[in-house]
Structure formats: C-alpha cells, structure tokens
Amino acid sequence: MENRRCWLFGATRRRTLRCNGPGLALLALAAELARSGLHQAIEGGDRGSVRTVWTHFTASQLRRRHMNDHQGLSRRHVLGMAIAAGGFALASPARSVFAQALNRTPGEILGPFYPVLRSVEKTADLTTVPGKPGRAAGQVIYVMGRVLNVQGQPVKGARVELWQANTHGRYVHPSDANPAPLDPNFEGFAIQDADAEGRYRFKTIKPGAYPVNANWMRPPHLHFEVTGKLNRVITQMYFPGESLNDKDLLLQNIRANKDGLIAKVLPPTSDVEPDSRLVVWDIVLDKG
C-alpha cells in the first residue's frame, strides 16, 4: 500500500492541514480535535510568543491502528487519531480535547509607559485622585468582566492591574513626550483582586488616541497585567468601532484570537451615571 502523508502546520499565527490520499476527511477531523491541545502545547509562555511547530503522521498507520473500515469511527478511535495528529499527551482526554472551549487572551508588549509613580493603595476608581476634590475629564466608563481559564472556570483572586492614557491621550509618565495636557485629577493606574467568581470592575474614563510617530496613531486602549495562580498575561484591551484599530500596528500584528482583545460597549444600567458606558471584557488565562 502506498504510504501517503498528511502534514499539520501549527502556530499561534496559522494552522493548515495539507493531505493527499484517501481518508482525508477523517484525518482532518482528528487534526481539528487536536487543535486546542496542540495550540496549548506549542504556544508555551504567557506573553503570547509566536513559535511555529510542525508534525507529521502517516495516514496508512493511523488507518491500520484506529479504523476497522473507511465507513465509520468510534469516539475512542477519533480521540486516538487526535493524539497522534497533535503530538501531545493527554492527562485527561475530556479536559484537554473536548472541554477547551475558550481561546486565551493574546499577550501584548508591556509598553513604554508602565507607571513608575503610582499609589500603592488598591483602588477600582481611576476617576478621582485621593485627597483631591475634582473628577477626571472625559467619558466615564465602567470596565468589567471575568478572569477565566480556557475551560471557563473563574480564576479566584487573580490580580488585575490597569493603566492607561487620559482623555487627551497622555500618560502620567516622565517618558511621555506627548504635548497633550495632563489631567490633575487623573493618575491612570488601578489595581484590584478578582472575586470568587473571577469578576473585576473598574471605574475610569475612555482614553484618547495618541501619536507614536508621524505615521502611526494608537487607538484608544487600556493596558492590563493579570496574574493568576499559575499564569500571567500582559495585554491590551481595545474599543469596538474605532477606525484606528484597523491601522494599529500592534493590534494588526495579532494573528490568534485578535477579536479576544476587542471589548463590548453597552448602555449604562440604572445604578451608574446615565451618560456613562459599560465596557465588558473577559480575560482568559491558560490554566488560571
């Protein structure tokens, strides 16, 4: 029997299956089942590093070991093919293959303006500065969501740090040379711990866009560092419908789960300011 091969190319950026010979639909199914576990195995690290791996398997060997005929496969056989195709070990098949329903949040760079001067007090309200009577200028938003693992389980007590530019697009940072004005009532940093259900909630203002150079304007975004018990992610959250999103070099460089960085904006509820907005965004860690 002719020995035909299928090649599985996997990466955080791209995955394709190239095959020839019979039984391709079954092999493609096995590769699809392997994808979530393979993604976890190859991506490694919590900074969203991109590493390309490839593995190959022999179609004739898989058919001999996992198929009685070309008409049907048992669930056990399909799982066996998935393991062979993905090249990873399953500690728990149900957890690693069938239950991995969420894509983890992509990592992004820390950025040049991580706060160096900030209050050590944990707070969830960025619209005021302790000891000052004023309120930060700009559109009030309530940023909220949950910290979860890829299985959808809450990450209890995850530390959530947020920092951002003010409504004019300037950071409270000595290295920010943007000529836009500072806001005396806005420091742009807050930190809190997620509750038992993984929930977090900040009150802040929508940041402004700002220039990186003559050819690049960064869209409004929030920076996050989230630390769970096992994993940490440094990332950025973006607002939907912003024209600058499509031109942003950092956002457009994301190849896996780019949509996972875009929040949902909803009308205010009765318990918040009527002109505010709710910004809903879940953060997904690998294991939590």
Neighbours of 204 (CB within 10 A): 25
The question of whether 218 is a catalytic residue gets the answer yes
Choose, from 142, 173, 218, 238, the residue flagged as catalytic.
218
By residue count, the chain amounts to 288
Question: Looking at 63, 104, 173, 223, which residue is catalytic?
Answer: 223
Q: Which is the catalytic residue, given 171, 173, 200, 238?
A: 171
Greatest CA span in the chain, whole angstroms? Answer: 82
210 included as an active-site residue = yes
The amino acid occupying position 98 is F
Q: Are 112 and 250 in contact (CB under 8 A)?
A: no
Amino acid in the structure at residue 43: E
Question: Pick from 93, 92, 5: which is nearest to 55 by CA?
Answer: 5
**Cα-to-chain-centroid distance, residue 248:** 17
Neighbours of 20 (CB within 10 A): 9
List 15, 35, 63, 221, catalytic entry: 221
Q: Which residues contact 254 (CB under 8 A, 6 or more apart)?
A: 48, 106, 108, 261
The secondary structure of 240-284 as a DSSP string is TT-GGGGG-HHHHT--SSGGGGB-EEEPPPTTS-TT-EEEE--EE
Active site residue ranges: 171, 210, 218, 221, 223
